[in-house]
Structure 1
Amino acid sequence: MTNNSAGDEAAIQLQDLLLGTENVEDFLDQLAVFAAGALTRLVGAEVECGVTLQRRRRTMTVAGSSPRAVILDRIEQSLGDGPCIEALRTKSVVLLADVDTDPRWPGYQLQLAAQGCRSTLGVPLEIGADSAAALNFFGSDTGLFTDEVIKEAAGFADLAGRSLRLAVRIGTAQSRAEDLQAAMEHRTSIDLACGVVMAQNRCSQEQAMTILTRVSSNRNQKLRDVAADILANITAGDVRTHFEA
């Protein structure tokens, strides 16, 4: 980050996050919340953050600072293109400054506008040879992601990438692969459970995610475990994500 003391503080906080989480998946959850908070304080307005993981040729939303952040990030995954995926492809920061005037992703931008999101910032993280990740920041207004903010976000992403690389290096190569695969598989279970709640309650995806999050909090149970319980009641087999070779 541009300010040494701020950068040192962020590095220490990211290290604490790493030490306080049991696996890569939990670290990604906490990273999304931490990253959203850091940019919110910087811009003086609420910023939400989704985390996209790319493993081989597949990308998936694996974490978010809020249920809404997960939904916003998944819009891009469903369409297969957008600032975050472009950031992964080019390994550089990609700004969507205004959903009304930028010509690059019209379908994506229409869906963002419908959700009240006016601008986004995709920031890539380096992980390893066969994996990458990106932070997808969402702003409710235009003009939030100034040149200074982009520079700070890139510096923060560099620190976060180092912490994430350390997280995936802990243990054997096999356990690291399983950690990344688990992150995708658990998100699949959460998405499916969200669909079940939508069908049962005739509600929107955002409302369903809010219900799941509330149940998770009330039970003091991880969201992925709540999702697994819901799916266990309607299917006899395990829910798994199948990766492309």
Structure 2
Amino acid sequence: MEPLVHADQILSLHELVTGTADIKAILQGVTGFASTALTQAAGDHIDCALTLRRRKRTATVAGSSDKAVLLDHIEQNLGQGPCLDALDQGKPLLLDDVATDVSWPEYSRALAAEGCRSALGVPMDLGETSEAVLNFFASKPGLFTPGVIDEAAAFAHLAGSTLRLAIRIETVEQLNADLKSAMASRTVIDLASGAIMAQNRCTQEEAFKLITKASSHRNEKVHKVATDIITKLTGAAGATPHFED
């Protein structure tokens, strides 16, 4: 019996994270690998969509095809289906046949109208700050056998580790970018304060108060006022400090 988690899946997911820091591109790649893995396991084509939710951010949806994304959005809009319930219950949930399964009647009718006969929702463990679920779709009923569901759960476990790493990397890169932006803003403000100190022979605190007062009167951010001061003095568009990574 072949292992549920294949070496080529591990390698492909690893290369996916090392090749890009774009979360949407990583999600797109994961759905493609998931579709391929489940298609091989089921012996018939299976599409996959992935929904990622993070605190204070809108949900990100990716899919192995446009149709997979459409079917996933239908479930999100209806607020019912195996994908959503799988997230709540923390385990795979199956809609085996839209013609006979009465668990999610409205969603079953919507799937049938799009030519989809069965669906499988598989949650992914991403920790406390994020959650994600894989949503698999088939044009035939009965394809999601216990063995195929086990394959989907094993892939979700592996892909969950990949996504956790990708989210951590993205978070660190965003913090780094925010820090650089803050340092650049502080540099411009310090330069403007220095210019005011030289012109008015005042302290740095007094110079900064003048900038903040101008900011309040103009209803502009302090950084914008400081940039305007530097531009008037030098004829250049403010300071553009460079920070090494």
TM-score when normalising by structure 2:
0.66
Residue 169 of structure 1 is matched in structure 2 by: 168
Counterpart AA for 2:150: K
SS in 1 for 2:6: helix
Residue 30 of structure 1 is matched in structure 2 by: 29
Contact kept in structure 2, 1:36 and 1:48, CA below 8 Å:
yes
Residues 144-196 of structure 1 deviation map (CA, whole Å, 9 limit, x = unaligned): 000000011101110000000011111545838x9xxxxxxxxxxxxxxxxxx
Query: How far apart are 1:5 and its partner, in Å?
Result: 8.1
SS in 1 for 2:101: coil
CA distance in 1, matches of 2:173, 2:15: 25
SS in 1 for 2:52: strand
Residue 38 of structure 2 is matched in structure 1 by: 39
CA distance in 2, matches of 1:107, 1:172: 38
Residue 123 of structure 1 is matched in structure 2 by: 122
CA 1:59–1:116 in 2, change beyond 3 Å: closer, same or farther? farther
SS in 2 for 1:138: strand
CA distance in 2, matches of 1:76, 1:48: 15
CA 1:57–1:151 in 2, change beyond 3 Å: closer, same or farther? farther
Counterpart AA for 2:30: L
Structure 2 unaligned blocks of 5 or more? 178-245
Query: How far apart are 1:54 and its partner, in Å?
Result: 2.5
Please tell me whether residue 86 in structure 1 is matched to residue 92 in structure 2. Answer: no
Alignment of 1:92-131 (within 5 A): 92-131=91-130
CA 1:138–1:5 in 2, change beyond 3 Å: closer, same or farther? closer
Contact kept in structure 1, 2:24 and 2:60, CA below 8 Å:
no
Query: How far apart are 1:7 and its partner, in Å?
Result: 2.5
SS in 2 for 1:12: helix
CA 1:44–1:171 in 2, change beyond 3 Å: closer, same or farther? closer
Query: How far apart are 1:128 and its partner, in Å?
Result: 2.3
CA 1:102–1:58 in 2, change beyond 3 Å: closer, same or farther? farther
Residue 160 of structure 1 is matched in structure 2 by: 159
CA 1:82–1:13 in 2, change beyond 3 Å: closer, same or farther? same
CA distance in 1, matches of 2:51, 2:170: 23
SS in 1 for 2:141: coil
SS in 2 for 1:170: helix
TM-score when normalising by structure 1:
0.66
Residue 14 of structure 1 is matched in structure 2 by: 13
CA distance in 2, matches of 1:31, 1:96: 22
Counterpart AA for 1:24: I
CA 1:49–1:117 in 2, change beyond 3 Å: closer, same or farther? same
Query: How far apart are 1:55 and its partner, in Å?
Result: 2.9
Residue 190 of structure 2 is matched in structure 1 by: none
Task: Choose 1 or 2 for highest CA Rg.
Answer: 2
Query: How far apart are 1:22 and its partner, in Å?
Result: 2.7
Query: How far apart are 1:130 and its partner, in Å?
Result: 2.1
